[in-house]
Amino acid sequence: GAVVSQHPSRVICKSGTSVKIECRSLDFQATTMFWYRQFPKQSLMLMATSNEGSKATYEQGVEKDKFLINHASLTLSTLTVTSAHPEDSSFYICSAPVGGVTDTQYFGPGTRLTVL
């Protein structure tokens, strides 16, 4: 089946630093990818839609200058958390629909970000 990978799986950083998280579709092309954030014991909250070759679409309340998204190729989207603060600590998960339509989305294993 389709596989989506994320790197790194876990990152700890100091407050004020920027962290880049990669999301790759390993055996299929994804013109669209989605980024979610999940706080402990809560559901996934859609942050933004990453579009290959164009600007990302952000959900209401998500700061685009805080969470920079770049979808540089058909298999890679990156999420950069800029000037991270402890409140940004969360589980970040990406997903990609197979075939360009949202019948089924395949999710990456997630990235656990801890900001000290």
Per CB under 8 A, residues contacting another protein are: 6, 32, 34, 36, 41-46, 49, 57, 59-60, 91, 93, 95, 97, 101-110, 112
Q: Which is nearer to another protein, 3 or 83 (CB)?
A: 3
Compute the least distance from the CB of residue 16 to another protein, in Å. 26
Query: Beta partners for 38?
Result: 44, 91
* Type of residue numbered 108: G
Compute the least distance from the CB of residue 52 to another protein, in Å. 13
Compute the least distance from the CB of residue 73 to another protein, in Å. 19
Q: Residue 103 phi/psi, 5° resolution?
A: -75, -55
Where on the phi/psi map is residue 8: left (φ > 0), alpha (ψ -120 to 50), or beta?
beta
Q: Which is nearer to another protein, 59 or 63 (CB)?
A: 59
CA dihedral 105, 110, 111, 114 (to 10 degrees): 120
